[in-house]
């Protein structure tokens, strides 16, 4: 995965995060918004986005590439 592909993924995640409501999130994911599990997943989604914002795209691309290399290279 190259930096352009990482950018595509991150842009999609950030755009959805910016525009989507809790109910839209539940609809996309197939969750029932009335269940605590759905609320838990919503909170995890928020945490994922905050974590991604902590890294620049170049660093994320490097980490993804490192994960795809053999474990002996780590």
Does position 6 have pLDDT exceeding 90, yes or no?
no
Question: Contact at 8 Å (CB) between 60 and 10?
Answer: yes
Q: Given this model, what pLDDT does residue 66 score?
A: 86
Q: How far apart are CA 33 and CA 71, in angstroms?
A: 40
For residues 31-43, give the mean pLDDT.
98
Q: What is the mean pLDDT of the chain?
A: 90
Q: How far apart are CA 58 and CA 4, in angstroms?
A: 10
For residues 31-42, give the mean pLDDT.
98
Find all residues with CB under 8 Å of 38, minimum gap 6, and list them.
26, 29, 31, 32
Q: Where are the domains of the chain?
A: 3-64
Write down the pTM of the prediction.
Answer: 0.80
């Amino acid at each position: 995965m190259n930096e352009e592909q990482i950018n595509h993924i991150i842009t999609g995640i950030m755009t959805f995060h910016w525009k989507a409501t809790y109910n839209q999130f539940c609809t996309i994911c197939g969750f029932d918004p009335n269940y605590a599990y759905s609320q838990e997943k919503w909170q995890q989604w928020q945490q994922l986005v905050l974590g991604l914002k902590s890294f620049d795209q170049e660093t994320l691309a490097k980490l993804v590439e490192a994960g795809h290399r053999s474990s002996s290279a780590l």
